[in-house]
Every structure is written in C-alpha cells, then in structure tokens.
C-alpha cells in the first residue's frame, strides 16, 4: 500500500487543484476591454444584451440581471411577496443565501429534508411541512441537477404556493427537455467565479410573469421607475423619475455583462466537458463500494456544477475529516457543500434544532466535493481519481 502524503508519503500531485475555478480566455478579456472603452460602463447596452441572451438560453420571457446571486434571491423573495408571518419551505443542503433571502423579507425559513439518493429537496418532506402560513418554496438545483419539478409543481398548485428555483448551480441544465429558467415562477442564477459561467460577480432572475418582471426591474434600482403607468404622479417630463417603493442598487456593470455574454457563448462547450468529467468519475466510483455515487432523476439533463464524493461508512475505517485531510494532503483539495443551513450558529440562535432533517445531516457528515471544472486536464482528472483510490485503499475496512 502507498504511504499517504499526510503521513509523509509523496503526494499524487506536486501542485494543488481545488474543487472549482473559472475559465477566462482571450476573447473574454477582449470583450471586457472593449466595453471599458465605451460610453456606458454600468447597466448599459451589454446588460440589456445579456438579458436577451439569458432569455434565449433559458427559454424564459423575461430576464433581470443583477449584481450577484444573493441579490437575485432577495429580489425574487420580495417580489413573491414573502413577509412577516409567512413561512417559506427551503432546501436544507444549500448555500445559506437560499434561506437568508427569506429572512431578509421578515418571513420564516422552514427546512425540508433531502432525498438521500439525489441530495435534492424531497417533495414528500415539503408536503409534510405545509401549514396555513406557507407562502412558497425556495428549491435548489443542488450540484446542477434539476429539482423534481412535476412533484413540486403539483404541491404548489394544490396549496397556492409560489416556487422560486435557486439555479445558482444549474445554468445549462434541462428538465424533461425544458431549460432550467423557464419552469418555476422565478428562477435565480449566480455567476460567481466557481459557477459554470462567470461575470466575476453577477446574478439574474428569469420569469414569464410580466408583473414580476416590472417589479424586479424597479427593485434593482432603488424602487425608482421611469414608466408612467407605474407612477403616482405621472408626467412625460424628460428628467422625471419617481421612487414608488423601497428598492436597492443591485445593478451589474456593463463590463461584467460583456464578460458574461462572452462566457454564455461557451456554455455548450463548458457543459459538455463537465459532463465528460462526471461520466469518468461515475464510471470509476460506481464500481467502488466505499463510495456512494449521486443518483440522477431521468428527467434531468444535468450540467453538473459540483461532483460529490460521499463516503460509505460501512466500508471505510475513517471519518469524513480524516478522508478530507488525507485527500487535501495529496494536493487534490476538496471542499464541503454544504453544512445544513440550520446548523449555522446564526440559525441555531434563531431556535432551529439539530435533527430536523436526518437525511441532510447524514449526507453532510460523509460528503465532500472533488475538483470539477471546465479547464481540468485529463491528467488532472486522472490525478483526482488516483488520489481518491489511494486514500480509499488506505482506509478500506
Ligand atoms: C453561489 C450560490 C448562491 C449565491 O450566489 P452569489 O452570486 O455568490 O451571491 C446562492 N445559492 C446557491 C445554491 C449558490 O451556490
């Protein structure tokens, strides 16, 4: 057996690789530079072009581009009308922002458990949590895999709920052939550098609902409008615009939008490479009883953002921490996505108890994300596989 790097052996790789990174090419840089030489550098023609492009990519009627994914979730939650006294059901295994947006509006996040096979929100768990106070659902396409839209749609229809889809991981994914972004009442995207396409920072909301669209556009810029039909004191005076509600400055710059436009043109290529790496990992790890492979629902054609390595505690004589540290020392650096949101001390102080979502907690205790990004070379994919095998062999029961 090979000596693990953590115990003084030679690491599988000399340099570290991490779970995700952006891919910026020369034409991306050129697009940003060209925009910086223009007249408008914030929220100008590139933002408008990006909104049009997002409608093409997702099949949605409207897209509103904002500063980041968290801003997208905040505006979507406000536009959904979540407020004091309302409950909103949300995935428990997600980035905190998915639940924070509910708190921003004064409503109460109610955490649903995950399906232990797919790690996505379990529609049966959602059903059990519905009360007369429930207003909506924030469902996360975790790792990029689409949520179970048919089941969630049925629950929403039967109970008069709004569905916000947090698709921060899922640009490029389809559900029954329909692109994510055209299915839920509102869909939120993030363009942070670890996500499949990036603007440095960036976010967007897509919707088919014109009323939602108008409100999202207003809230992005302070709640100020130039549309006469939205004004209390309409006039066609050229200088006049009116604040009709309390909004924010959640604008994206035009040079970020230029970067994103350039990146979105590469989405088919980015998506294909991610699928190729996932297929390689799946083919190796599905043959190893020490590793549990994430299951896909047949409806989801997934552009995977994260690859989850879940340990089988019955076959390994180590805990997650030991495995994680050993892999890290091999210079194949994993990360953990995510702590169940209600385990964060902030949520603990709000009164959430441990134990409410057992599948989520069990998932968390044994999982980590291994490198998956477009620009990974075949050698880096091989190194990752070798490092995982090396650590598995050492700790095999
Ligand atoms: C990245 C992410 C967000 C937040 O997006 P930002 O652009 O970083 O604000 C929200 N939800 C999920 C699931 C994410 O992964």
Please, what are the domains in the chain? 26-264 (3.40.640.10), 267-395 (3.90.1150.10)
Those residues with Cβ within 8 angstroms of residue 158's Cβ, 6 or more apart along the chain or in another chain: none
Distance 164 CA to ligand 1 centre (A): 14
DSSP assignment of 78-125: HHTT--TT-EEEEESSS-THHHHHHHHTT-EEEEEPBPTTT-SB-HHH
* Residue 192 near ligand 1, beta carbon < 6 Å: yes
pTM beyond 0.85: yes
Q: Encoding tokens for residue 224?
A: 């100020």
Q: What is the pLDDT of residue 1?
A: 81
Ligand 1 atom with minimal separation from the 73 CA: 10
Would you state the pLDDT for residue 394? 97
Distance 74 CA to ligand 1 centre (A): 11
Give the per-residue pLDDT at 7.
Answer: 98
Cα(205) to centroid(ligand 1), Å? 13
The span from the CA of 241 to the CA of 228, in Å, is 9
For the Cβ of 303 lying below 6 angstroms from any atom of ligand 1, the answer is: no
pLDDT of residue 273: 98
CA of 169, closest atom in ligand 1? 15
- To the nearest 10 degrees (0 to 180), the angle between helices 210-220 and 69-79 is 130
- Could you tell which of 70, 138, 260 is best to mutate to test the pocket of ligand 1, judged by most ligand atoms within 8 Å of the CB? 70
What span, in angstroms and rounded, lies between the C-alpha atoms of 329 and 178? 42
Mean pLDDT, 10 residues at a time, over the chain (397 residues)?
A: 95 98 97 95 94 98 98 98 98 98 98 98 98 98 98 98 98 98 98 97 98 98 95 95 97 98 98 98 98 98 98 98 98 98 98 98 98 98 98 97
Q: Tokens in use for 196?
A: 């499949």
């Amino acid at each position: 057996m090979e000596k693990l790097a953590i115990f003084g052996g030679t690491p599988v790789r000399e340099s570290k690789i991490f779970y995700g990174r952006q891919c910026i090419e020369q034409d991306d840089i050129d697009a940003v530079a060209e925009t910086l030489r223009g007249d408008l550098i914030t929220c100008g023609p590139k933002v408008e072009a990006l909104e049009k492009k997002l409608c093409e990519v997702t099949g949605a009627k409207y897209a509103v581009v904002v500063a980041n994914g968290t801003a997208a979730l905040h505006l979507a939650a406000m536009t959904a009308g979540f407020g004091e006294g309302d409950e909103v059901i949300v995935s428990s295994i997600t980035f905190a922002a998915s639940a924070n947006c509910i708190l921003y509006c004064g409503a109460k996040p109610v955490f649903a458990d995950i399906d232990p096979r797919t790690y996505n929100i379990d529609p049966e768990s959602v059903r059990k949590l519905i009360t007369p106070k429930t207003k909506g659902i924030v469902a996360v396409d975790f790792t990029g895999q689409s949520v179970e839209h048919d089941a969630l749609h049925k629950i929403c229809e039967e109970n008069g709920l709004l569905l916000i889809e947090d698709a921060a991981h899922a640009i490029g994914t389809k559900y029954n052939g329909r692109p994510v972004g055209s299915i839920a009442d509102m869909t939120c995207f993030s363009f942070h550098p670890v996500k499949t396409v990036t603007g440095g920072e960036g976010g967007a909301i897509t919707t088919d609902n014109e009323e939602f669209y108008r409100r999202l556009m207003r809230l992005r810029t302070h709640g100020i409008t130039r549309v006469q039909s939205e004004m209390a004191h309409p006039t066609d005076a050229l200088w006049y615009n009116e604040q009709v509600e309390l909004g924010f400055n959640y604008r994206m710059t035009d040079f970020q939008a230029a970067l994103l436009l350039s990146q979105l043109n590469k989405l088919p290529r980015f998506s294909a490479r991610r699928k190729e790496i996932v297929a390689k990992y799946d083919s190796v790890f599905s043959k190893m009883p020490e590793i549990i492979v994430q299951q896909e629902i047949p409806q989801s054609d997934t552009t995977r953002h994260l690859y989850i390595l879940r340990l089988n505690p019955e076959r390994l004589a180590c805990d997650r921490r030991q495995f994680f540290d050993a892999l890290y020392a091999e210079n194949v650096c994993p990360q953990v996505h995510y702590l169940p949101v209600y385990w964060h001390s902030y949520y603990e102080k709000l009164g959430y108890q441990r134990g409410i979502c057992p599948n989520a907690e069990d998932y968390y205790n044994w999982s980590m994300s291994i490198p998956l990004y477009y620009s990974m070379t075949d050698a880096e994919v091989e190194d990752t596989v070798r490092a995982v095998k090396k650590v598995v062999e050492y700790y095999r029961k």
